[in-house]
Structure formats: structure tokens, C-alpha cells
Amino acid sequence: MSESDKHRVFINRLTGAQQRLYAYIYTQLGPGPNVDDVLQETNLSLWENADSYDPSRPFMPWAYQFAYNRVRAYRASLSRSRLIFDEKLLAMLHETFTESPLAGDSPLEALQGCVERLSKDQKQLLGERYEGERSLTDLAKQLGESITCLTSRLHRIRRDLARCIQGKMAAEVAK
């Protein structure tokens, strides 16, 4: 394969992967403008490393590894700011994406379906925390809860979402 052909294959695979990369990053960071920023950084990393891509191998596992590294770098840059998912859950979501034979944006659809299954109170709490970007302190005061209690509630919701996503993805594979 000529260098020109390798370049063309890489560009086609990269452009075709945008929805899946977005879904992957969204699943790990939640809603917000940070998803677009991390996707952009991932694309830059992929482009900078295009020469190391072997066109005879699957593109998505290779690309997911770059996205995973960019998500981790973004999370590290937050330092002591709120973190959307803990490291264990982040690794579990990464594993779900990289081991899944599914194409398209099924993981994002699974996440959306799982969010729909949450109770009204759980959806409202997630919305306040992540879409409204409210601090734990402000949210705990508003709800009359301790930060520890609120953190535990959010952790349980995120854990349940991860399990739900894994279940939906496993069911898709079993079809």
C-alpha cells in the first residue's frame, strides 16, 4: 500500500469514527462543552500519530486508546475540581467500548436509554450536578444533605448507569 493510500485510509477511518469517539468521550465525561474539547484533542493526537497506525488493524481500538489518554489528561487537569467518574468506572467504561464489537453510536444510545430509566429525582440530581455544573457544596446546601451523602448518591447513580450500559451492550452482542 502506497503512502498516499495509507493516508487516504487513515482519513476515511478517522472521519468515520467521529460519532463513536464522541459517544466514548461523552460516556466518560458526561454532558458539557468539555466533550467537544477532548474530542478535538483526541483528533489532534490521532493525526499526530497517523504514521504509527497500521491500516491492516482495526481502527477503533487504536483510536479509543488515544481518547482514553486524552480523557485521563483532561481529568488530571481538573486537579481538585469535581470529577465526573472515578478511575475504576472510567477504566470499566473504556473496557466496554474497546471490547465491544458494536459499530455506530450504540454506546451513546445505551447511555441515553439508561438515563431514561432513572427516577425523576435521580435525573434531576444529575442535571443539577452536571448540566448545571453546580458544585457539590452548593447542591448539598440546596438539598439539605452532607457532601458525603450527596457524593455517595451520585456514585451509586453513576455505578448503576455503568452497569446498565454494560447490560444493554451485552444484550446487543447477544442478539
CA atoms within 13 A on the CB side of 114: 21
What amino acid occupies position 47?
Answer: W
- Cα 97 to Cα 29, 36, 47, 63, 146: the distances in Å are 14, 18, 21, 11, 34
- Cα 66 to Cα 91, 112, 114: the distances in Å are 14, 24, 26
The predicted-structure confidence for 85-113, as pLDDT tens digits, reads as follows: 556 666 666 676 666 544 444 666 777 78
- The pLDDT assigned to 137 comes to 86
| Residues spanned by the domain of 140 | 3-174
What does pTM read for this prediction?
A: 0.49
- The pLDDT assigned to 89 comes to 66
The percentage of the chain sitting over the pLDDT mark of 90, rounded to a whole number, equals 22
Please state the domain count of the chain: 1
